[in-house]
Amino acid sequence: MTSTLAKANALKFNPLEDAVMHEVLPAAWTGSHVATRIADAFNTLSRLPTASARTALGFWPSHAYTWQDMLAQLEQAADEQAREHRIANRVRITPDLVEVSQMERALCWPMDFLANDPRLARAVNAMAFTHAIGRDVVWLARKRGGDPDLWQRENWAGCALIAIGLVRDKIGVF
């Protein structure tokens, strides 16, 4: 009897926890959806390849290891070995064409639709960047000064104005 209970627990599947949930697009642009798309644009921008010295060298490893180097690495502490492996095996996934196209459109919205109110444009861009790097509005307020609630209200107001402009210009939801 205990063996069947153990099997039942091993086969547990909850579609709400284990499945990948796809985003449901709204019928028309909303302020929250605009904020999500601009934050996604900043995230995509951070994943684009840069012209740094690392990428200029191509795909060659940063060091050529000799036999003595490899023996010395075996003598290192476990945490240092784990750090070296993370550095050596780091992979940067670049965005695809659709993501780059959506990024280019979304990054223009704050200045296209909020050109008359640079304060709101700054708030929308700052909040989108903050969310893209995984921070919150309190971090933004500490970094740039001001009240977190004010940053949030200005972001919402700016995203609502952008959504109104997108609906007016009949730009499709993505």
| In the predicted structure, residue 76 carries a pLDDT above the cut 60 | yes
Please state, rounded to an integer, the average pLDDT across all residues of the chain. 84
Q: How far is CA 76 from CA 64, 65, 81, 109, in A?
A: 18, 15, 6, 51
| pLDDT of res. 21 | 63
What average pLDDT does the segment 3-27 reach?
A: 62
| Region label for 66, one of left (φ > 0), alpha (ψ between -120 and 50) or beta (otherwise) | beta
| In the predicted structure, residue 20 carries a pLDDT above the cut 50 | yes
**Of 36-40, 81-85, 129-133, where does mean pLDDT reach its minimum?**
81-85
Query: What does the alpha-carbon distance between residue 130 and residue 110 come to, in Å, rounded to a whole number?
Result: 15
Contact at 8 Å (CB) between 130 and 77? no
The residue assigned the tokens 């050529």 is: 64
Query: Which residues lie closer than 8 Å to 30 by C-beta, 6 or more apart?
Result: 163
**Is the full-model pTM beyond 0.75?**
no
| pLDDT of res. 172 | 92
| pLDDT of res. 1 | 47
**Residue 107 or 87, more confident:** 107
